Amino acid sequence: MRSRESGDGGEARAEAFLAERGLRLVERNYSCRSGEIDLVMLDPTPPDTEVLAFVEVRLRGPGARVDAFDSVDPRKQQRLVSAARHFLMCRDEWQDHACRFDVVGIDGEDGNLRWIAGAFELAG
């Protein structure tokens, strides 16, 4: 349970961080058979279009061997892409939006939060 509680706290911090930057929450913890998306956010800032951001939040404890961003390996990326496709297939209102995949990393040593918008591309 402790890990889930930490994850929920990290997701809440990431959501607040992104909201401060103008993104709006669409859905939290979207889950389907192929995977889970921590946050689905709408980014209104690109010129002339809104972008649907599928956000993976990674919390790394002190002494973690792998950086938060490196932990989103190709296998994890594929699960996120599959879950995003399922989300879009089930929600007609979002199908025509541009999409991207973001990663928010939270360092367990100092609690610093870093965000990479468009952290990886849709593949496969």
Q: What is the pTM of this model?
A: 0.88
Q: How many domains does the chain divide into?
A: 1
9: containing domain = 2-119
Percent of the chain scoring above 70 in pLDDT:
88
CATH value at residue 52:
3.40.1350.10
Using CB atoms within 10 Å of the CB of residue 72, give its burial: 0 to 12 exposed, 13 to 18 middle, 19+ buried: buried
Q: What's the gap between Cα 69 and its chain centre?
A: 11
Tell me the pLDDT tens digit for each residue of 90-118: 999 998 999 999 999 998 767 789 999 99
Q: Which amino acid is at 4?
A: R
DSSP 87-122: HHHH-GGGTTSEEEEEEEEEETTT--EEEEEEEE--
Using CB atoms within 10 Å of the CB of residue 41, give its burial: 0 to 12 exposed, 13 to 18 middle, 19+ buried: buried
Is residue 96 in a domain?
A: yes
Is residue 84 in a domain?
A: yes
Is residue 124 in a domain?
A: no
